[in-house]
A and B are shown apart, each in its own frame.
Chain A
Amino acid sequence: METNWEPKILAFLCNWCSYAGADLAGTSRIQYSPNIRVIRVPCSGRINPLFILKALQSGIDGVLVSGCHPGDCHYISGNYIGRRKSTTLKRFVEFLGIEEGRVQFSWVSAAEGGKFSQVVDGVTQDIKKLGPIKRFVKKQN
């Protein structure tokens, strides 16, 4: 393992809350780990579990899914539907033997720039402890 390994983390952020939260963190000049790559999605309910699995398979060390707080969804109930998918998927991948913490979830509102930076730092810390992904990842020849 390289000594200066830095985790690659993919963040799926919902357009209406978490993405705006990340924006606020940026405009407020709050520092957070530069390990995340952000993909903006319309809603946390839009996230197909295949996205998360495909990311892990492609060599992403950790995935963060973030959406609006319960009750705040722009589409009324998208995050509730997403929550059920997240719950079952998280339990299932951990049951298979993929380490706990590779896939994480959070609620971040558009006003929570500070929380966003904390969440990202927390996820980065967790993934650094776990090390590079070894299971499930597709080895490039």
Chain B
Amino acid sequence: MIEQKIREIAKDLLSKKTVDLVIGFGEGTLPLRVTPRFIRSPEKVDRLIWNSFCENNLATYVHKFSRFKLGLVVKGCDARSVIALSLEKRFQPGQIFMIGVPCQRMVDRRKVSRAVKGDILQAREEGDLLYVKGDGFEVSLKRNDFLYSSCQACTHRNPTRADVMVGDPVEELPLKEPYHEAKEFEKMSPEERWKFFEKETSRCIRCYACREACPMCYCSECFVDSSNPKWIEKSFSPSDLQFYHIVRAYHQTGRCSGCGACERACPMEIRLGYLTQKLNQDVKELFKFETGIGSEAPPPLSTFEIADKQDFIK
């Protein structure tokens, strides 16, 4: 079982002092939630778990714990983020020990809570079914009906690189339509797209959770916090909210692994995934680059080809 293996590997790493700490997932305080767990001693590895709610991208901690040797539990998307960070030289070679876990795709807790009436008090997972219990109801749900949209768009569920793999690789399911969210929006008219973007961003409370959850947002001073030059006002005017979201997404060009952590972190449930998905689609189409797949190619915006497309330039 995956959970057991993760614990064994973590125990081994910690007792041999290969790493200073192992970051994995632990039981959350609420049903359908797990929390990142930081294990420093081999006795405590039993706190690590693995289930369908291990949604966080733990690569975020790579630069938050830059002075430690880390053992990191990574899914396919997290591994891609770690590789992208290594291309940007965010850690020393050998500093990160990746414990790769083939991902069964994660369950969207919001979709689950919307499917039932009332608060969920208990949840349990067995095979392909979720048993959800609450005040006056008890239902079983098929987990595959409640997957995150980012997970539905996933083409790399197996970590592309890992120091040790837990369990057997899963079969990569071919997608009916890659980048389905971006494609859906491309069919709309610019007016409709703008209206949608305007409506979504108008809910933003500027908590910057999307930025904090993202492993690629590590600037020591974010453009929103900079006062000289002051790119953006600290206001809630629609234009400033749009500005933040445009630039936050655009800064992910060629760096986003499509893990969907930004969208999941948003307390206002703003649709953010389609923006970075569009960028990923463009980068793949224009520069044949996919984040975290090949670990040699430099980030696409830091390099060029003489033959790059330029039909839009007069």
Show the binding face of A for B, using Cβ within 8 Å: 49-50, 53-54, 57, 70-71, 77, 80-81, 83-100, 104-107, 119, 122, 135-139
Tell me what chain B mostly uses at the interface: helix, strand, loop, or mixed.
helix
Interface size class of B (residues with CB under 8 A): 35 or more
Cβ distance B46 to chain A, nearest Cβ, rounded Å = 46
Write the nearest CB–CB distance from A47 to chain B, whole angstroms. 13
Q: Are A119 and B192 closer than 8 Å at their CB atoms?
A: no
- The 8 Å CB contact of B239, one of A57, A88, A106, is A57
Q: Is the CB of A81 within 8 A of B231?
A: no
On whether the beta carbons of A77 and B304 are closer than 8 Å, the reply is: yes
Task: Evaluate whether A138 and B240 lie within 8 angstroms (CB atoms) in the complex, with A97-B193, A107-B314 already known.
Answer: yes
What per-residue 1/0 map shows which CB atoms of B87-127 lie under 8 Å from chain A? 00000000000000000000000000000000000000000
Q: From B223, B242, B302, name the one whose CB has the most chain A CB atoms within 10 angstroms.
A: B242
Contact at A89–B314, with CB atoms within 8 Å?
no
Spot the interface stretch: B6-14, B258-266, B280-288: B280-288
Are A84 and B237 also in contact (CB < 8 A) when A70-B310, A106-B314, A122-B314 are?
no
CA A96 to CA B248, docked complex, whole Å:
13
Tell me whether A91 and B282 are in contact (CB under 8 A). Answer: yes
Do residues B313 and A83 form an inter-chain contact, with CB atoms below 8 A? yes
Please determine whether A95 and B193 come into contact, CB atoms closer than 8 angstroms.
yes
Dominant SS at the A interface? helix
Q: Which residues of B contact A77 (CB under 8 A)?
A: 304
Tell me the B190-244 residues at the A interface (CB within 8 Å): 190-198, 223, 231, 237, 239-240, 242-243
Contact A88/B301 with A97-B197, A119-B314, A136-B242 known, Cβ cut-off 8 Å = yes
- B246 vs chain A, min Cβ distance (A): 6
B278 within 8 A of A: yes
One of A80, A100, A104, A105 near B306 (C-beta < 8 A): A80
Residues of B contacting A100 with CB < 8 Å? Answer: 190
Asked whether A97 and B192 contact (CB < 8 A) given A53-B247, A105-B313, the answer is yes
Contact A88 B253 (CB under 8 A): yes
Q: Is the CB of A93 within 8 A of B313?
A: no
What is the bound-complex CA distance between A99 and B194, given in angstroms?
A: 9
Of A49, A90, A96, A119, the contact of B194 (CB 8 Å cutoff): A96
A17 → B minimal CB distance (Å): 13
A96–B314 contact, CB under 8 A? Answer: no
- Give me 16 A-to-B residue pairs in the complex whose CB atoms sit less than 8 angstroms apart, sorted by A's number: A50-B223, A50-B247, A53-B247, A70-B310, A80-B305, A80-B308, A83-B313, A84-B287, A84-B303, A85-B301, A88-B254, A88-B279, A97-B196, A97-B197, A107-B313, A135-B194
A106 with B282: in contact, given A50-B223, A138-B237, A138-B240 (CB under 8 Å)? no
User: Which residues of B in the span 71-97 have a Cβ within 8 Å of any Cβ on A?
Assistant: none
